Amino acid sequence: MDSELQIGLAALGVAVVAGIIAYNKWQERKHRRQAEQAFRSDHRDVLLEPQDGAQPADERIEPSWDDPAAENPEPVAAPAATQWHTKDNPIRRVTPGVPDVVDPRIDCVIRIESIETLDAPRLWAAQHQELEGISKPVRWFAFDDAANVWRMLTPNSAGAFHWYCVAMQLVDRRGAIGENDFMHFSGGVQRIADQFFAVPADLPTRVETLRKATDLDEFCASVDVQIGINVVATNQPFAGTKVRALAEAHGMTIGDDGAFHARDEAGHTLYSLSNMEPGLFAPDEMRQLHTSGLTLVIDVPRVANGVPVFERMMHQATQIAEALHGTVVDDNRAPFGPDAAAVIRSQIQHFQAQMAGLDVPAGSPLAMRLFSV
Per-residue pLDDT tens for 292-315?
999 999 999 999 999 999 999 999
Q: Are 186 and 206 in contact (CB under 8 A)?
A: yes
As a whole number of angstroms, the longest Cα–Cα distance in the chain is: 170
Cβ–Cβ under 8 Å, residues 234 and 325:
yes
Check if the beta carbon of residue 136 is closer than 8 Å to that of residue 99. no
159-163, 225-229, 236-240, 331-335: least confident range: 331-335
Q: Average pLDDT, stretch 89-109?
A: 81
Which is it for the CA torsion 196, 199, 200, 206, positive or negative? Answer: positive
Query: Contact 130/196 with Cβ under 8 angstroms?
Result: no
Task: Name which of 248, 237, 250, 251 is nearest 294 in CA terms.
Answer: 237
pLDDT at 170 over 90: yes
- How many C-beta neighbours within 10 Å does residue 218 have? 11
Which pLDDT value is given to residue 202? Answer: 82
pLDDT of residue 272 exceeding 70: yes
Q: Give the integer Cα–Cα distance in Å for 245 and 252.
A: 10
**pLDDT (tens digit, 9 = 90+) per residue, 184-196?**
999 999 999 999 9
237 CB burial (10 A radius; 0-12, 13-18, 19+): middle
DSSP annotation string for 225-250: -EEEEEEEESSSPEEHHHHHHHHHHT
CA-based radius of gyration for the chain: 41
User: Which amino acid appears at position 268 of this protein?
Assistant: H
Write out pLDDT tens, residues 40-86. Answer: 434 333 223 344 444 443 333 333 333 333 333 333 333 333 443 34
- What pLDDT shows up at residue 13? 52
What is the rounded average pLDDT for all residues in the chain? 82
What domains, with CATH codes, occur in the chain?
107-217 (3.30.1400.10), 224-370 (3.30.1400.10)
pTM strictly above 0.85: no
pLDDT, residue 101, reads 95
pLDDT (mean) for 329-340 = 91
> What type of residue is 257?
D
Read off the pLDDT band of 317 (50, 70, 90): very high
Tell me, what DSSP letter sits at residue 115?
E
* Angstrom distance (rounded) from CA 221 to CA 174: 10
Specify the range with the lowest mean pLDDT, choosing from 221-235, 249-263, 287-301, 327-341: 327-341
Residue 353 identity (one-letter amino acid): A
Q: What is the pLDDT of residue 181?
A: 97
Confidence of residue 4 (pLDDT cuts 50, 70, 90): low
Residues 6+ apart with CB under 8 A from 84: 91, 92, 93, 115, 162
User: What pLDDT sits at residue 331?
Assistant: 87
Mean pLDDT of 256-268: 96
Residue 243 pLDDT greater than 60, yes or no? yes
Ordered DSSP codes for 150-181: EEE--TT---EEEEEEEEEE-EETTEE--HHH
Give backbone dihedrals phi and psi of 85, rounded to 5 degrees, phi first.
-115, 115
Q: How far apart are CA 72 and CA 88, in angstroms?
A: 15
Look at 59 and 157; give whichever has higher pLDDT.
157
Q: CB of 287 within 8 A of CB of 276?
A: no
